[in-house]
Amino acid sequence: MSYVYNEGAIYFHTAKRGKKIDFIEKNDRVCFEVDEWQKGWASVICYGKVTLREDIEAKSKGFKLLMGVDLPEERIMGARVYIGVIDIEEMTGRCSVDYEFR
C-alpha cells in the first residue's frame, strides 16, 4: 500500500471496492503498522479513525503528498479511487538497541 504520514494523519489511496473497503464500511476504527528491518529493526503502530474521501480537496492533497506533484483537476477527478485518511489518536513503537534513526 502506498501511504504517507502528514501532520498527524496517514494518507493512502485505494480502489473503491474490495475487502479493505468492506471492512472499513463496517468499522472505521483501524490500526496501521509500519516495520523496518534495514539497520536493526523498528515498528510503529498507529490507532485511529479512517475516512474514505473522494472530494477534490482530499484527492488533490492526497495525490500531492503521495506523488510529490500537483495533478490537473480533470485527472484527479477521473481517478476512481478513494483517498483514505487515518486521523491518528494514539501511536506507539519500539526498536532494537542497534537501530539507526534517520
- Domains of the chain, each with CATH number or no CATH: 3-95 (2.30.110.10)
Contact 40, 96 (CB under 8 A): yes
Task: Note the pTM of the prediction, 2 decimals.
Answer: 0.87
What confidence tens digit (pLDDT) does each residue in 28-80 have? 999 999 999 887 899 999 999 999 999 999 999 999 999 998 889 888 888 89
Question: Residue 102: pLDDT band by 50, 70, 90 thresholds?
Answer: low
What confidence tens digit (pLDDT) does each residue in 10-34 have? 999 999 999 999 999 999 999 999 9
SS3 89: strand
pLDDT at 99: 80
SS3 59: helix
Query: How far is 64 from 15, CA to CA, in rounded Å?
Result: 18
Query: How far is 20 from 77, CA to CA, in rounded Å?
Result: 22
